Amino acid sequence: MPATAGARLRPVVLGTGDEIIATVRAEIAEYALSMDGEFGRRIRLGVSVALDQFLDLLGTDDALPDTTVYFELGRVEHRHGRTMDALQSAYRIGSRVLWRRIAAASDGSAVNGNGVADAPDDLGLGSDAIFRLAEALFAYIEQLAAASVSGYAYEQSLAAGSRQARQHALVERLCRTPAPEPPELEALAREAGWTPPKEVGALVMAEESLGVVCRRLPPEVAASVVDGVGVVFVPDPDGPGRSDALTDAARGTAAVLGPTVTPDQIPRTVTRARAARALQVDGTLPGDGLIRSEDHLLALLLHADVTLTADLVAQRLEPLRRMTSAARDRAVTTLTAWLDAHGDVAEAATRLHVHPQTVRYRLARLKEAFAGVLDDPVGRLEVALALRAGGSALAEG
């Protein structure tokens, strides 16, 4: 643009502020009632600064000196609960009104509201300059609108961060023992925007899987990372359709769902799910997709106190350690088949692909080695648990 463009356009441009405000008020319903308050003051300031800056920048290569006013307008829009649609419309209205006044002035027909000419009949700008002026105007408005979009996104991120912080406080407290009393739970839930359910289950997974899983779950869950583990509290996990939804959410990752409990028992579902997750990580439990801790109670029991389980294995399987490797291998497979068949020799023989008489012979030797333990119901249970916990390693060792 010519260096003189700003001075020539100043009377026309500065005279459009009131018309822009009036048109915005008339055409944007969201702003009709708010133009008299603080928001209206900000809009008027934005229009005034925009017009002055536009004139100052014409004929120069300078960048926008400051977009704070428009950045803040975007933030205000978010705080008022509006989308960016209204503000973007205001920018379009402002550029339209301004360009209409400039176009009218360029052919000598620009007048103000009182019918008095705002500018000389001819702005002294050639047709090429008028085209460049239009391009400059709309590029300028795009930059102001972009600043507002940035402000809106910034405020949105602050709000999201605040919600995330409040949700983390809720989830972190629910993971601690004892469970929060109803007043504390209600206060934390209210701050986090979460409705405490009548029943809830804890879903745990690797920290890096939390985002993917949460995006697949309904919004009423509460989720965060606690002690390096992703934790999601799922309302009514046994409700209609929940099982399929949870299975789908854990697709392609590994997650554990704890037992369904009432809010006063929440630490129990977290503890159970975390314990099962540890077994999932070390390969004891399946490591793909969703598993439910309640389907693996025996494994959880045997790993709840590893020293106690080790003592049970050492004590109850001691007779096997005195055998040769081959004899021990046969003994483990025979005992396992017999116990799994609930003492049915024929069924055990079928499982082992041997004659029943062979099973009877082996059992006689085993009962002798175990000194009557296999004839005692409690003793048999302890041997079965010991085999479940350490039989494979014993056979291999």
Locate the domains of the chain by residue range: 5-159, 182-304, 306-396
- pLDDT class of 281 with cuts at 50, 70, 90: very high
H-type helices in the chain, by residue range?
5-14, 17-27, 38-57, 68-79, 85-106, 127-174, 182-192, 210-216, 242-249, 266-281, 297-304, 306-316, 318-321, 325-340, 345-352, 356-369, 377-396
Q: Answer whether residue 381 shows pLDDT above 60.
A: yes
Choose the weakest-confidence range: 5-14, 178-187, 292-301. 5-14
Q: Answer whether residue 373 shows pLDDT above 80.
A: yes
- Tell me the CATH number of domain 306-396, given options 3.20.20.70, 1.10.10.2840, 3.90.1580.10, 2.40.50.180: 1.10.10.2840
Cα 153 from Cα 135, distance rounded (Å): 27
- Out of 111-115, 237-241, 285-289, the most confident range is 237-241
Mean pLDDT of the chain: 87
Q: Answer whether residue 82 shows pLDDT above 90.
A: no
User: CA separation (Å) from 379 to 132, 310, 366, 367, 371?
Assistant: 96, 16, 13, 11, 11
Q: What is the pLDDT of residue 118?
A: 43
Q: Return the higher-pLDDT residue of 16 and 161.
A: 16
Q: What is the pLDDT of residue 119?
A: 39
Q: What is the pLDDT of residue 75?
A: 87
Mean pLDDT of 26-54: 85
Q: What's the pTM value of the predicted model, to 2 decimals?
A: 0.57
Q: What is the pLDDT of residue 110?
A: 43
Q: Answer whether residue 290 shows pLDDT above 80.
A: yes
Q: Return the higher-pLDDT residue of 1 and 302.
A: 302
Q: Answer whether residue 66 shows pLDDT above 90.
A: no
Mean pLDDT of 280-291: 90
Q: What is the pLDDT of residues 105-128, one digit of tens each?
A: 776 544 444 444 343 345 667 778
Q: Answer whether residue 366 shows pLDDT above 90.
A: yes
Q: What is the pLDDT of residue 120?
A: 38
Cα 358 from Cα 345, distance rounded (Å): 10
- Bridge partners (DSSP) of residue 261 are 200
Q: Return the higher-pLDDT residue of 109 and 366.
A: 366
Q: Return the higher-pLDDT residue of 250 and 63.
A: 250
Q: Answer whether residue 314 shows pLDDT above 80.
A: yes
Q: What is the pLDDT of residue 288?
A: 87
Q: What is the pLDDT of residue 107?
A: 65
Q: What is the pLDDT of residues 124-154, one digit of tens each?
A: 677 788 888 888 899 999 999 999 999 888 8
Q: What is the pLDDT of residue 173?
A: 93
Q: Return the higher-pLDDT residue of 358 and 132.
A: 358
- Strand order in 222-226's β-sheet? 222-226, 229-235, 200-206, 254-257, 289-292
Portion of the chain with pLDDT greater than 70, in percent = 93
CB 201 within 8 A of CB 237: yes
Is CATH 3.40.1700 the right assignment for the domain spanning 182-304?
Answer: no
- Bridge partners (DSSP) of residue 223 are 232
